[in-house]
Chains A and B, each alone.
Chain A
Amino acid sequence: MNLQLNHFNGKAAATTQSVVDALYQMLDEGQIDQAQFSRVNVQLDWIQYKQNFREMVTVSRGSKGQHAAGAKESGPPVMEIRIDTRQVTPASLKSEMKRAITAAESDTQSADDRIALEDFKSFRNSIAWEFNKLYWTWLRDWEKATGKGYEQALPGGKSDGNHEDAVADSVGDFWTLLRDMETKNQLPGEIFILEIGVGSGKRCGMFVERFRSLDAQRGTSYYPKLRVLMGDYSLATLDMSRPAVKEHIELCSFLALDALNPLKTLSFLRHKILYIHSTNMYDNLPDEEMLRRDGRLFYVHVRAYIPMTEAARIAEKFKIPVGSIRGHIDKLLSIGPDAMGERACGMSFWQEVWTAIRLEEKLVAIEELPDLALPNGLDMVKLEGILDESPGDVRFHLSSGALESFVNTIPLLHPRGYLQVQDIFVTDLNDYRVGFHGPGKLDGSIVNWVNGALLRGVAERTGYDLHFAPYRYRQGSKTSILYTSPRE
């Protein structure tokens, strides 16, 4: 048995002994057999998101008999026990571990203590992302129902992207690039910039306003050449962003685009855009996780469910049978909050369900999959190369959505252009051993750290070096700023 403490603090450290005691008792009482015990990996996490998808103890395991073809392994499949040391209470630890191990015994059937909302699948295809999409589609209604804007849900209560000094520095860097191009007679007639995921539009408005001032102050005439492209998949968000750029509206275009594939909408601007920016966008794109254990790679497949106790409470509150909850959720996701009749009722149901949703997990060895569907831009050769530099046993994000977005964005860059992304990045694979990095729930949406190390590896093979600068404009900020530079 391996036990790994992923976050070191007093409570987590104290929990370690309790976990060992509980496991020993279970072994002693025959609730775990000796052979299985040898393949147990216990991860002690500290979940930083108050709202998340985890119970106090979760167990994931590989299928029975799941071994690589020709592998010399024998014995039971791997088992991973993950314990949230923030939620844990010593009195309930052992019973929770027993419950979670029993629930993980079944490969296909859902345990009686929950309502499954889907079959096991990669997280990126989970119903959880449909809730995320619903949130951005009905953002105004969510904000009205909760009484707070989405930026208030962010750590710190506002977006780091809107910090005046950060924007000023970005503008300064961009102006310097334009100046250099002008001196080399390389300045194009139209200067395209793109914001992907516009949010409130505030950041873009600040950028363009600051740019206009700097342009005037330094006596250049770049501002009239600016072509500001504001892209977002949510028309509601695009609409909400307009007032923030109203002073520059004649330079702005509002584009409904898929952040996973901006090239699809903007192919006519291939190799033309000089500056592409986004803030807190990658962390909200569909993702999935992998696990390397004893040299083998597993996909972490998930199944969303609602614990039965929560289901009963929701059913009582909305005067509906427990058995109809799944059907109401399907209607909510396809129609929106009007699905329950009164919108306010639908909003309330949505909030309750979202709070209650959890994810159970199963490990699927990659050789068991009919086909290996790695994210666009990544293949097994690249992945193995990147993992060569990581610790042996590691669970990591594939950051599928971020990778897909990245490889479908960089062809838009002008040879002198650059991409700047402000987000929460894991820049070293070793960091996955010392912290939990999502997924968590951020108000009505999903938040997931982005595997910057993987992104860097993919970028290298597509002709860019990635750099991650810690965000220095707000003390305690966990965000970094990614920017690209072309590889020679």
Chain B
Amino acid sequence: MPYTYHSKEDRAAMLRLLGFDSEDRLFDAIPEGLRLDQPLPIENGRSEPETLRLFKRLAVKNHGAHGLVNFLGGGIYDHVVPSVVNNLASRPEFATAYTPYQPEVSQGTLGVIFEFQTHISRLTGMPIANASMYDAASAMAESALMAAKATGRKTILMPDSVNPRYRRVVERYVSGQNLLIEAIPATASGQIDAGALSARLGDDIAGVVVQTPNYFGVLEEPWAFSDPVRESGAMLIACVCPISLAIFRPPSEYGADIVIGEGQSLGNPMSFGGPLVGFMACSQKLIRQMPGRIVSRTKDVDGHTAFVLTLQTREQHIRRAKATSNICTNQGLLATRATIYLSLLGEHGLTELARLCHDKAHRLAERIAACDGYGIRFGGPFFKEFVVECPTDAVAVVKRARELGVLAGIPLEKYYGETSRRDLLVAVTENNSDEDFELLCDALCKARDAEREPSNA
């Protein structure tokens, strides 16, 4: 049987030492009536080749970015994963290690996390970063809780332009602490209505969330309201795209207190939306309120440099009911991948990548805008993602495009309702070629024509 390796003699010798006549005795402590007297309703085990065959059959029932032209985004992106990342991160030294509670034999993991924290700190401009969070959504929720604790206030302002999936998670996460989540509308540029936001500030507002680029792909102007936010005593929580920060202004420059984001795009596959890896950075004064693991550099008894988990008195295994968060794991292996990815790309590689995505997205947007009946929905500047206004239902456009082998984007109706019926969120990465653009534009035209034909007939 797989994954247990005792010989018959081993078992007999071990049972003998225990004075047991059978393995059933190992379960003596379970009351008779609670012991299963029949096998679980699960098939018999399979050999490795049989298992591989079974899962290959399942995998070919899926049609993803590996076979289709993909413009789906909305928080999960199909970026290149360099070979070095896969190679290094699959090393058992990284993959099969545990949380680095014994630092003497965990310097590999601790050293990588220290670099991860440094990478995130430099990208965001914030002095403090932690060892990662489950995903951007839970990181946003944790930052809302942090803001509430730090300010003693209860309301979080959550603009409509924030990823609706993140909003949903935040609402659920903070429900136990009775925080209120209040929406702030977006303007015609696809950006936060800075006037409405400033008007709502007051001594009940714990935090203001701003996502930039936002869910529509549009870059926000946090500097337009960061002063009033600070003056009101609320925390500014920025949710950022790490790749965009190579070319766009880091959140430290507009006074963010807490910065979070999704690191999936940094060398991690899409993998049907999980596992993901959130990151969190903050100002110096919030370090002791921060959830999750944090690694510090220190010395060992011989005076050699060493790394160690620090400020553990914030955490659940020490503080129990009084911990800053119940978080127990980070996303170690994905953070490792993100670390290696950022180290490998480095200053020039990440800058090139950001420019490439920006350039490609803008070239595609121009081409789509030139398609009869199609337009770009919002006027605000964007990075690698934008909303296309379709001449017909975006859902119908997506369906038609799929028939032509193209995943055209996310119809926004499911998140924003009937008024967004014709809106389609399109994401571009370095993986998309001019040929892909051709295919998408062709699909958009065909979808438009197919809709027009019946009414013309």
Do A and B belong to a common assembly? no
Which residues in A have some Cβ–Cβ distance to B below 8 Å?
none
Which residues in B have some Cβ–Cβ distance to A below 8 Å?
none
